Amino acid sequence: MKIIMAGKLALCRHGQSEWNLKNKFTGWEDVGLTPLGEEEALEAGKQLKGIDINFDIAFTSLLKRANKTLFIILEQMDLTWIPITHAWELNERHYGALQGKNKAEVAKEFGDEQVHIWRRSYDIPPPPIGNEDPSHPRFDGKYDGIDELPSGESLKDTLSRVKPYWENQILPELLGNQNVLVVAHGNSLRSMIKIIEAIDDESIVELNLPTGIPIVYEFNENMEPISKNFLADSEALQKAQDAVVKQGKSE
């Protein structure tokens, strides 16, 4: 029986965005990177180059903070020539009516517990925006021709679009022994990690992904992860994860 060798997979959340810095709910709002975010992307590229993975293909969302991070990483690795696929399915979770609002201010208005539910529950979405709201993605040319665009999503909703994309687009590349780089967003990557590691609904909400720190997976022939490495020292990783947790608190 022929054993199929799976390729390696690297996942990386985009570098710090302008609204990460301002502690705002960002979602599908298309904001850029801060100078620190560009530095994080550069460091991610250096770390990935240091472990000597030659990626064959890259995937990212339609949002420029992820696109810019990916371009910086690939430039640092001398891999700007590899194929890149942009997919709306890899966009961040849509935060509905919360998008553009400061997380701490929302926590003061509605309470830390309610904001924690909106941010971290598995299946409770935030208040949606209306279909006629000018910020609705149906008015954005990037999404022309896409049916059923979200007005607000839970993590479960995000998973429902990430899972078929993983199964139909990314997984076949890995099964073909291609090394794959995915640069996306906190919740689209959490959805992917939930699938890869078979994490239950209750536990996935506690997973905190900091900006700009790659995760590298290796798989066996059954596509079960046999190694998972964050490309950061443990102290820096813990500090970055703690910072993500604090974002939604009123103080």
Looking at residue 90, the DSSP 8-state letter turns out to be G
The number of C-alpha atoms within 13 Å of 155 and in the hemisphere containing its C-beta is 26
C-alpha pair distances (Å), 61 with each of 53, 177, 240 = 22, 23, 23
The predicted-structure confidence for 173-231, as pLDDT tens digits, reads as follows 999 999 999 999 999 999 999 999 999 999 998 898 999 999 999 999 889 999 999 99
- pLDDT band for position 242 (cuts 50, 70, 90): low
Give the chain's domains with CATH numbers. 9-246 (3.40.50.1240)
Q: Are 74 and 82 in contact (CB under 8 A)?
A: yes
Task: Name the burial class of residue 66, with classes exposed (0-12), middle (13-18) and buried (19+) by CB atoms within 10 angstroms of its CB.
Answer: buried
- pLDDT band for position 1 (cuts 50, 70, 90): very low
Q: Does the predicted model carry a pTM greater than 0.75? A: yes
| pLDDT (mean) for 94-111 | 93
Query: What is the spatial distance between Cα 136 and Cα 171, in angstroms, rounded to a whole number?
Result: 31
Residues annotated as part of the active site: 14, 92
